[in-house]
Chain A
């Protein structure tokens, strides 16, 4: 199956069918305008254009991930606006990129159906047998003469080839052998994988949803604010997830090591459906939705001033979290906490002071007296960053990944084919051999489209070993 207009070279299976076929010079057939969509030239062009586009996207910070502020930081206001107008700051959602992906999809479907998949059929065709004249036209070929009968010569070659992993078929004075035939499945398997990947991604994008919900301790998260694609036909779950506990584990140096959250799935009446502790790399799965630990922080500190409870929002400042409470005359109280175990440090700051002054440290659940105020550190409310996702195309995508990996690995296997033919010739008597002796003339040839030189080396080494074996036995006889 070749699309007309391609340069004509004998391809694998054409060679198999009629070896040493003269290159056919059929006139370029009329082809429909659509054929361009099935051309490898288009594939290469599209792959390069997409690669270049993605490269630009890797270089320029993307608004959809880091926000426009980051783009301004990097390039300055004016350039950033220009880049934004050109679509470069959100290149993966640009029309240009989507059109390229669309064209690649069409190209891939057309090519796979028209050219890649039909090749499977040629796998079933048995290899033909060749005469020595045909063998002498193969890209790699050699003639040996061995001092044995032709049957034995061919049999020995067959054994040697088998030992090297070839599948050998013999037929009278001829032999054909093949190595790495399954390598020819590579394009089919890879392209089935690529098409399945597209299918899986499409299913997920049309019916899946995802989102991020920072959820404070003891609250429950629902899926109301989830994101999904424009063409969406999915459905959001009714159940919710309650955070029963959440904590951070540190290395001795104070660097975070792991975050944990104890989650309970509850239905709309509050019945508990499932309980699980999650951590980074260890999500909870329920009803097709996965819930991941993706970030962690301290949300609020609860204090009591002479019996009056106040909740203050915490802000992350480097390794600590701080809450600010303005008092009269410009005085600010600062509460700084590092984690759920260490005490809160209370500072005061006035405009006159250069640096805040440490007033006290209060362990959790304890209180201190500051002037006329009894200050109690009641509670620290952590907040856990929960990422969730429903991905109905997951199974298909996973299978696609397996196919793609298997396919590209198979493509590394070079297919090798060997043919041999024997005939007998009488060697005239000379000084050493007193009597006339039969010689086995073995024509061996073959090819490996992907790796000719390596094939040549390996085949010649097989033949050399064969010759040496006979030289040795010949010497003995």
Chain B
């Protein structure tokens, strides 16, 4: 790793943590709020730029497109999360989402830095990956995952703003189970079925409980206008993520067709991307006639985020096999 690359990656990691704390801190005092929000945003812009430079230098150092292993994809994910948030911030004033976006980026950095050193090194590619298709196929996917995350996080904020505190707690619980399963799967050698049970059981239980407690409203907490705002942000996030996922899946099919003569082989990761795609297609159609309340749709975005997590990281850590897994590295 070159020094510039290292310095820029570290700057980006550090700024994501910093912007998180400034976003959180902005709630402390009403007087400083506006200023602190501006600072947090500026810090995030710095991080975004630093990460852009880091990724570009990594590409130059490696002499290839810098998206070939899990570590590199995590950098991209953090980049797309920051970029996606900044994009949304241009369309909406979404300060309540800032700390969650920073937290997501920071978590990805942390996860990446805990991976074994072999992941950080620049390694040559296996024959199957030597193709210009790789850079057409993978970036849209990673960016779509990041947009789905932003959308799911927005769903959480929507639940908060609409006073669905109990549902929110359950939804967060579901996420915690899912994330823990992935963390444990990456860094320990617990039994695969146990981890899968933790992931699936925890998220289904949490989301079902959340669904059932949607009627419980803490009326003093309702901010209808903001609830509407975050509902829309969640939707827009998906409307940006969905085309990206579509492009990623289709170019993947074209690549496979080009390389192996088959668009689709029901490889586990392909299938998972399809599951995510179908679920968001369901969300879009659910929304067309607005039969569903905004809160239910928010829960769907959270469910979507969990599916995205499973598609993106679940495969390595929860023991699904297949062509696409980045390989286990324990």
Using CB atoms and an 8 Å cutoff, list the residues of chain A in contact with chain B.
Answer: 6-7, 9, 40-41, 43-44, 47-48, 50-52, 54-55, 57-59, 61-62, 64-66, 92, 210, 251, 253, 255-259, 280-281, 283, 290, 292, 294, 387-389, 391, 397, 401, 404-405, 408-409, 411-412, 414, 450-454, 457
Contacts and interface: CB of A to CB of B under 8 A. Distances in A.
Nearest to A62: B266
B260 A292 contact: yes
- Where chain B touches its partner, the secondary structure class is helix
A145 to B, nearest CB: 26
Interface of B: 91-93, 124, 126-128, 130-131, 133, 196, 228-229, 232, 235-236, 239-240, 242-243, 246-247, 250, 253-254, 257-263, 265-269, 271-272, 274-275, 278-279, 281-282, 284-286, 288-291, 320-321
A41 B282 CA distance: 10
A106 B260 CA distance: 31
Contacts of B257: 391
B261 A47 contact: no
Contacts of B268: 58-59
Contacts of A409: 243
Given A58-B271, A405-B247, A408-B246, A51 B131 contact: no
21 contacts: A7-B289, A7-B291, A9-B290, A40-B289, A41-B291, A47-B281, A47-B285, A48-B282, A50-B278, A58-B272, A59-B268, A61-B321, A292-B260, A387-B261, A389-B262, A412-B240, A412-B242, A450-B236, A452-B232, A454-B91, A454-B236
A55 B128 contact: no
A253 B123 CA distance: 11
A450 B286 CA distance: 13
Nearest to A6: B289
List the 4 shortest-distance A-B pairs measured between CB atoms, nearest first.
A58-B271, A389-B261, A51-B278, A47-B282
B124 A257 contact: yes
A57 B250 contact: no
Residue of A6, A55, A66, A412 with most partner-chain B CB within 10 A: A55
Nearest to A457: B92
A454 B320 contact: no
Contacts of B291: 7, 41
Contacts of B130: 257-258, 280-281
Contact of A257 (B127, B289, B290, B320): B127
A447 to B, nearest CB: 13
Contact of B239 (A55, A294, A412, A453): A412
Given A292-B260, A405-B247, A450 B285 contact: no
B140 to A, nearest CB: 10
A41 B292 CA distance: 11
A253 B133 CA distance: 25
A44 B282 contact: yes
A453 B228 contact: yes
A453 B282 contact: no
Contacts of A47: 278-279, 281-282, 285
A288 B239 CA distance: 38
B320 A59 contact: yes
Contacts of A92: 266
B128 A280 contact: yes
A292 B235 contact: no
